[in-house]
Structure 1
Amino acid sequence: MFKKIFKYLLPALLLVVLVACGEKKTEKKAEATKPSEITVGDIKITVNPKKVVVFDNGALDTLDALGLGEKVIGAPVKNLPAYLKKYKKVENAGGIKEPDLEKINQLKPDLILISGRQQDFQEKLSKIAPTLFLSLDEKDVWASTKENILTLGKIFDKEKLAKEKIDSLEENILKVKKEAEASKKTALVVMANEGQLSAFGSGSRFGIINDVFGFAPADKEIKSSTHGQGVNYEYISQKNPDLLFIVDRTKAIGGDSSKNNIADNALVKETNAGKNGGVIELQADVWYLSGGGLESTQLMLDDVEKGLK
């Protein structure tokens, strides 16, 4: 009886073994065909680099979200936003505007990721390791954010996970955008810096509030510039926004923030925002020191969503 059963089972067992062997060969072949190097722009980068120095906080939080934090060996640790504080334990690679070239050279990274603040050092850094500047297009910030995230996904062989994370984030963005547009609330973004005020609108460094999250601008004529358009409290009163979003620069980088109490100003209190709890202080270290990453974009979204509650 056993011999008869074995007679019929043997071909099936052989088939299972052959299929398994075939699958393993296919997997090995797929692994073998994966490129060991990719080109981003004109920069050649080894796929899945093991040691990375990161100056761009948006790139750092994307690496973190993709489970790649252990690859980060250096960063400007004194200028990290609070949500990335666990990376203060890595080697200090210099200031946010002036990388420590000697230290970075000693670290022997496989890749260096920079932001616009370190762009003047790109050539010198490139002599140490491939140096990638993942810029954000302020005119189309969400598209360039997605492109940067996918680029990192490709470099670190995490493209599938990167796409899944983007899809989830985009779903959250669309939800808030729909609510913001339906609310018809006008919004004004102001940065405070030791008593000085500057406004930012569509197409600016903080334009994501209008251009991606869907809040109608209280002023459509704000001139787009790196440091914003200089304004005063009378300007805020005239524009009378329903929501006044504040970025306190001094809280992000240090300084005297005693003159930045915008919500306490008499003119601000008389605006729609002041009367209806619409003066919202954003997480300054996220908005001023980061952005363009998976985690930072979600944190920004959480911040502005407070204006819809």
Structure 2
Amino acid sequence: MKSVWLAALAAVAFATPTHAQDIVVNHAQGETTLSGVPAKVLVQDWATFDNLNALGIDVAGAPSSNVPGYLADKVPAEYLQLGSLFEPDFEGIAASESDVYFVSARSAEAYGTAKDILPTIDMSLADNSDILGGIKANLVKLGDIFGRQAEAEQLNAALDAKVEEVKAAAADKGNALVIVTNAGNVGVYGPDSRVAWIHNQLGIPSAMADVEDGDHGGDGISMEFILETNPDWLFVVDRDAGTGETAGAAAALLDNELVNQTKAAQEGHIIYLDPQAAYITMHGYQGVMLLLDQVLAGLNA
């Protein structure tokens, strides 16, 4: 009798369906529970797309605009277009029956609506003064969600090694202004900006004390100020090119009598950073690695 009961119990155990273990994710706007590893992934932010792609995770849906050039060949030929960075297509998102939806930065406001449609995670960084640390933390978080912990660890190790390489190349090379050009205007980016790592993590001192970051346009300056400050290096973010408006506007704007008298210009120390990696996907792993390589090439030229 006992053997019959045990056999029946075993049959019930094998017949009971197994459920994937829930994954609880803490993020910028709260806590989200996923019912297992997500299979169908939507993302409303190109930096998060960058990080997912670096980890080898397929994405089913992404923004329909502002695709960074360095990511263009990584976007699936046929993917669900989710609207702009600022205006998601919530109807399409709801109809997709996806497992997770990532927002961040420009799309963070979508969280309030999206969280009632499907599991939504905000990957926004809280502190621009440590962008590289934020990228590493986001890679770890995504690695935990998708079971790609080893890949995240490898990427973070490569980032640390690249930073040390560029930091060594920058030692004793002088100071710099990190400037952003926007519709004919010029501003300085500083220790709280979207490219703050140039100063904070690479150790390249700012030629301008007490920069008040305006983030989009920086701390406004004139061409006369650039000459007066006379930096050893100029790192340039062309916002117009980054947003797809006018390519090459920064180079044309800075090719003038005043800037051309600076040490940076005369020594060939003006480095034009990839505008989309610097302005659109400043929190993306592959974008930052691209920027670090550009800085390294400029320093070693």
TM-score by length of 2: 0.85
Larger CA deviation: 121-130 vs 248-257? 248-257
User: Which amino acid in structure 2 is aligned with residue 187 of structure 1?
Assistant: A
Matched, 1:198 2:187: yes
Partner of 1:236: 226
Matched, 1:60 2:46: no
Please tell me whether the aligned partners of residues 187 and 245 of structure 1 are also in contact (alpha carbons under 8 angstroms).
yes
Partner of 1:252: 242
Q: Alpha-carbon deviation of 1:140? A: 2.1
Partner of 1:39: 25
How many residue pairs match? The answer is 275
Please tell me whether the aligned partners of residues 202 and 211 of structure 1 are also in contact (alpha carbons under 8 angstroms).
yes
CA distance in 2, matches of 1:283, 1:120: 27
Q: Alpha-carbon deviation of 1:259? A: 5.1
SS in 1 for 2:268: coil
Q: Alpha-carbon deviation of 1:88? A: 5.7
CA distance in 2, matches of 1:38, 1:259: 46
Please tell me whether the aligned partners of residues 242 and 278 of structure 1 are also in contact (alpha carbons under 8 angstroms).
yes
Partner of 1:278: 269
TM-score by length of 1: 0.83
User: Which amino acid in structure 1 is aligned with residue 275 of structure 2?
Assistant: A
Q: Alpha-carbon deviation of 1:46? A: 3.4
Partner of 2:209: 220
Q: Alpha-carbon deviation of 1:33? A: 11
Q: Alpha-carbon deviation of 1:148? A: 0.8
Q: Alpha-carbon deviation of 1:258? A: 6.8
Describe how 1:137-156 pairs up with structure 2 within 5 A: 137-156=127-146
SS in 2 for 1:43: strand
Partner of 2:9: none
SS in 2 for 1:226: coil
User: Which amino acid in structure 1 is aligned with residue 117 of structure 2?
Assistant: I
Partner of 2:155: 165
Please tell me whether the aligned partners of residues 78 and 88 of structure 1 are also in contact (alpha carbons under 8 angstroms).
no
User: Which amino acid in structure 2 is aligned with residue 278 of structure 1?
Assistant: H
Matched, 1:268 2:262: no
Query: Could you say which structure has the larger radius of gyration?
Result: 1
Describe how 1:14-29 pairs up with structure 2 within 5 A: none
Instruction: Structure 1: state its 5+ residue gaps.
Output: 1-31
User: Which amino acid in structure 1 is aligned with residue 72 of structure 2?
Assistant: K
Identity fraction in percent: 32
Matched, 1:100 2:89: yes
Q: Alpha-carbon deviation of 1:38? A: 2.4
Partner of 1:73: 60
CA distance in 2, matches of 1:273, 1:46: 54
CA distance in 1, matches of 2:36, 2:158: 25
Instruction: Structure 2: state its 5+ residue gaps.
Output: 1-17
Q: Alpha-carbon deviation of 1:34? A: 8.5
Matched, 1:82 2:69: yes
Q: 2:282 aligns with which of 280, 283, 291?
A: 291
Q: 2:165 aligns with which of 165, 171, 175?
A: 175
Q: 2:197 aligns with which of 194, 202, 208?
A: 208
CA distance in 2, matches of 1:237, 1:249: 22
Partner of 2:100: 111
Q: Alpha-carbon deviation of 1:39? A: 2.8
Q: Deviations over 1:132-152 (max 9, x none)?
A: 111221122222221111000
Q: Alpha-carbon deviation of 1:211? A: 0.9
